[in-house]
Structure 1
Amino acid sequence: MPDTLVLMFHPSPATSRVNAALAAAAATLDDVAVVDMQALYPNGAIDADAEVARLLSARRLVLQFPLQWYSVPPLLKAWQDLVLTRMYYIHPREEGDRLMGTPLLVASTAGNTAAAYTPGGANLYPLTEMMRPLQATANRCGLPWASPFFVYETGRLDDAALAEAGRAYAARIESWRRSVPGRAAALPAIAAPARIAAGAAC
């Protein structure tokens, strides 16, 4: 399994231009696996067992997605709710504890200009502030946080600018991998005990 796992959450991968180009650039790197999550789960029926095994098999994790209404796409939120809740609140010793130490890099795209994401801009807050829920999640889960990678003005990028964005993304992943040690070892999933009764924890 790969050293680095890139999970791309784009609600319409068939029509994606920028996220598709970023994913393609990441896929050219050695020991990187890119998974199109929307293509894998078009109906939103996430296979929790498969996702836990996928996470535990890699030493680094990248979450890639377009910003949607100042938040993550619905499938990424559903993935967090299902997979991370299971790993850290239902089976913490068998799964969550074993994922701790996996470095996390977030890569997000936005349609507006960088200036729009400032206190005086149309969107009021910088993208770094909009990533705070993910940063808090990473902190709770013991996933070392890195400065996110952003691409702005996605609807205005010509082919040359898009190619440059892809190169910058690949370079960011490589520099991150050089500077941040991965989790000590990729771990196979182990059988978890029976689920706790519904409502036993809230």
Structure 2
Amino acid sequence: MTTDRTLIIVGHPNLADSRANAARIAEIENLGNVTVHDLYQNYPDFGIDVAREQQLLREHDTVILQFPLCWYSVTPLVKSWFDVVLNYGFAFTLDGSASELRGKKAWLAVSVGSSLDTYTTEGVARRSLDEYLAPVRQTLEFCQFDYQGVHAVYGMMLNPSEDELILDAKEYGRLVASNGTPVG
């Protein structure tokens, strides 16, 4: 029996100062079937090695994009990664034929500065997190990933307690270790 390999693409511009993302990484760093790939550490000048990135995608069964919400979207380097790595012929075709990513699972692990109630029709953001992340979902689905959803932790700018961060990291670790599906 083979174990599914998981690639976690971390797109946090200042991971050392991120309590939630650091806790998540610490929770899963010793899992044998997981590769943690920090984009900002590897490409501080945004000079992405496309061949390397595509090979990493080929070698893994599940891809998790882990990033803080940045102006209701992904961080700049994650966007740049989408633009250069998920290119025609590798990640998508125009005739619907299979991409090299077809059937690989993909999900998002997002940290959000404000509270969950901000992301409601009555909240300041006026939309759900899923609505803001719809272009990311569409990109992944267009590239024939099997999109699994979002695992989000809210309130990062509200100074969450260590207990809250530990609970989130443990749930994240459980999802990664079990190749589970996030529920929101």
Matched, 1:123 2:125: yes
CA displacement, residues 61-94 of structure 1 (integer Å, 9 cap, x when unaligned): 100000011011000000000000252368x9xx
Mean Cα displacement is larger for which, 69-78 or 125-134? Answer: 125-134
Equivalent residue runs for 1:77-156 within 5 Å = 77-86=79-88, 87-88=90-91, 97-155=99-157, 156=159
- Give ranges in structure 1 of 5+ residues lacking alignment: 180-202
Match of 2:172 among 163, 169, 174: 169
CA contact (8 A) 1:2 1:57 kept: no
> In structure 1, what is the Cα distance between the partners aligned to 2:92 and 2:172?
33
For residues 126 and 178 of structure 1, do their structure 2 counterparts lie closer, same or farther at Cα, with a shift above 3 Å needed?
closer
> In structure 2, what is the Cα distance between the partners aligned to 1:102 and 1:117?
29
> In structure 1, what is the Cα distance between the partners aligned to 2:4 and 2:40?
20
Matched, 1:69 2:71: yes
Name the structure 1 match of 2:62.
60
Look at both structures and tell me which one has the larger radius of gyration over its CA atoms: 1
Shift of 1:26: 2.4
State the TM-score, normalizing by the size of structure 2: 0.87
> In structure 1, what is the Cα distance between the partners aligned to 2:4 and 2:177?
14
Mean Cα displacement is larger for which, 72-81 or 24-33? Answer: 24-33
- Kindly indicate which of the two structures has a greater share of residues assigned to strand: 2
CA contact (8 A) 1:29 1:170 kept: no
CA contact (8 A) 2:91 2:100 kept: no
For residues 39 and 162 of structure 1, do their structure 2 counterparts lie closer, same or farther at Cα, with a shift above 3 Å needed?
same
- Give ranges in structure 2 of 5+ residues lacking alignment: none
Local SS of the residue matching 1:97: coil
Matched, 1:159 2:180: no
CA displacement, residues 112-131 of structure 1 (integer Å, 9 cap, x when unaligned): 11001000001111111111
Q: CA RMSD in A?
A: 2.2
State the TM-score, normalizing by the size of structure 1: 0.80
CA contact (8 A) 2:11 2:40 kept: yes
CA contact (8 A) 2:10 2:37 kept: yes
CA displacement, residues 95-122 of structure 1 (integer Å, 9 cap, x when unaligned): x722211100111010111001000001
Aligned-partner residue type, residue 50 of structure 2: A
Local SS of the residue matching 2:172: helix
CA displacement, residues 129-166 of structure 1 (integer Å, 9 cap, x when unaligned): 11111111121111001121000011321212111111
Mean Cα displacement is larger for which, 158-167 or 14-23? Answer: 14-23
CA contact (8 A) 2:92 2:143 kept: no
